[in-house]
Amino acid sequence: MFLMQTTTMKPIYSGKAKDLFETETPEVLRAYFRDSATAFNAQKKGEIQNKGKVNATMSTLLFNLLEQDGIKTHFIKQIADNELLIKRVKIIPLEVIVRNIAAGSLCKRLGIKEGKVLKSPIVEFSYKNDELGDPLLTRAYIINALEVADNKTLDIISERTLKINEIFKEFFLNVGIKVVDFKLEYGTDKDSNLLLADELSPDNFRFWDAKTNEKLDKDRFRQDLGNVEGAYGEMLKRVKEGLKNEPARRRTGEPASSQSYNVRVQILPKADILDPQGQAVEKALKSLSYSEVIDLKIGKEIVFKLKSESKEKAQVHVKEMCEKLLANPVIEDYKIEID
Ligand code: C5P
């Protein structure tokens, strides 16, 4: 018999939501996903019904997706609703976090408004240490003080994490989900191969509905938003839906059923921003006795065609373009029309 009963075995590791057990094969472990949930470094505790099953299944589907794109992971197979077989790795004690949109600790730390689209994705490292509250690290801390990874390994981890981010951003946008941020862990196997480890689930991702910005992740538990189980279930449903489109997309290398949309972006100075050009034109019109003209603003209009799989996805992409390049959100308002 390859496996032993969970109940009669002592885990070799018991985390906040998972237990790891040895198997008869030294290099293979069994990960049992519990329904228990914690937040704020275990200061808040609870249960999310079905979470173990959803997280084990979603991890299975997403590890498989990454493996197809050449990312090496610790995943072997799902053996029960709540259980995976994984390769034994030595975990590098770093929480590797990638952020696309400001939320959570980034907002707290920098006073930035939740929802700001970041100019470019950010990869950051925290020390995986509950007693210290997982403090944010610099490269020098990691290399010279903790000595848990060298510069080259951190470069490889950052590059791989950004690639994973691109795969997930694309995959989830196809099913109407924005990937706000997520946390990864890496480890090394007995042959020193660097493998993606841990799990891939709403416990360690922030997922927002692309249309409504509804939170569909552990923030529902952290912030007492209710319907936590519903959100986890919805995310598993969307992952399964996304996988139905995947084979076609991979074969052609093209976005699935891409269409061309006409985009019109109108950009105007904000109401309280000085607009000398607009003021000059308004003054000139008044001098031509058009005294009824008030609050004249001069802006610009940008038009282009955009290939996208859906109008919803096009909307999200154009909004990103506006925030990053087309407009200056501090002093300008923008309006997007897509048809
Ligand atoms: O709290 P913070 O904003 O730093 O979290 C960033 C991302 O990393 C979130 O998706 C969160 O769920 C995840 N995270 C995690 N485990 C931690 C800390 C953060 O999964 N210990």
**What are the tens digits of pLDDT across the range 155-167?**
999 999 999 999 9
What are 298-301's contacts with CB under 8 Å, separation 24+?
298/269, 299/266, 299/267, 299/268, 299/269, 299/332, 300/266, 300/267, 301/264, 301/265, 301/266, 301/267
Pairing of strands 177-184, 205-209: antiparallel
- The confidence score (pLDDT) of residue 283 equals 94
Instruction: Encode pLDDT of 193-243 as tens digits.
Output: 999 999 999 999 999 999 999 999 999 999 999 999 999 999 999 999 999
Q: What is the pLDDT of residue 257?
A: 60
Best residue among 183, 199, 235 to mutate for probing ligand 1's pocket (most ligand atoms within 8 Å of CB) is 183
Confidence of residue 249 (pLDDT cuts 50, 70, 90): low
CA of 181 to the centre of ligand 1 (A): 8
pLDDT in tens, 284-322: 999 999 999 999 999 999 999 998 876 667 877 898 899
pLDDT at 250 over 70: no
Who has greater pLDDT, 6 or 271?
271
Torsion angle defined by CA atoms of residues 143, 157, 18 and 179, in that order, rounded to the nearest 10 degrees = 130
At 324, the pLDDT band (50, 70, 90 cuts) reads confident
* pLDDT at site 33: 98
Give the residues surrounding ligand 1 with Cβ less than 6 Å away. Answer: 95, 97, 103-106, 134, 181-183, 204-206, 218
- Domains of the chain (ranges, CATH numbers): 13-87 (3.30.200.20), 91-252 (3.30.470.20), 259-338 (3.30.1280.10)
Q: Which atom of ligand 1 is found nearest the CA of 108?
A: 3
Q: What is the mean pLDDT of the chain?
A: 93
Instruction: Please report the atom of ligand 1 found closest to the CA of residue 182.
Output: 10
* Section 14-41 average pLDDT: 95
Specify the ligand 1 atom closest to the Cα of 206. Answer: 10
DSSP secondary structure letter of residue 130: G
**Tell me, what's the pLDDT at 2?**
44
Q: What is the model's pLDDT at position 254?
A: 54
331 pLDDT more than 70: yes
What is the per-residue pLDDT for 6?
Answer: 52
CA of 169 to the centre of ligand 1 (A): 17
d(CA 263, CA 269): 20
Ligand 1, atom 12, lies closest to the CA of 204
Could you tell me the pLDDT band of residue 1, with boundaries at 50, 70 and 90? Answer: very low
| Confidence at residue 330, expressed as pLDDT on a 0 to 100 scale | 86
| Res 266: pLDDT | 95
Q: Is the pLDDT of residue 3 over 70?
A: no
Which is the closest atom of ligand 1 to the Cα of 105?
A: 3
Residue nearest to ligand 1 atom 7, measured at CA? 182
Q: How many CB atoms lie within 10 A of CB 37?
A: 19
Three-class SS of residue 278? helix
Compute the distance from residue 97 Cα to the ligand 1 centre, in Å: 7
Counting beta carbons within 10 angstroms of the beta carbon of residue 319, is it exposed (0 to 12), middle (13 to 18) or buried (19 or more)?
A: middle
Over the range 140-157, which residues count as b (16 or more CB within 10 Å of their CB) and which as e? Answer: eebbeeeebbeeebbeeb
Question: How much is the average pLDDT of 4-15?
Answer: 76
Tens digit of each residue's pLDDT (9 = 90 or more) over 171-191: 999 999 999 999 999 999 999
User: How far is ligand 1, taken at its centre, from the CA of residue 9, in Å?
Assistant: 30
Average pLDDT score over residue span 75-101? 98
C-alpha 182 to ligand 1 mean position (Å): 6
30 CA to centre of ligand 1 in angstroms: 24
CA of 204 to the centre of ligand 1 (A): 6
Pocket probe for ligand 1: among 43, 97, 132, 182, the residue whose CB has the most ligand atoms within 8 Å is 97
Q: 64 alpha carbon to ligand 1 midpoint, in Å?
A: 22
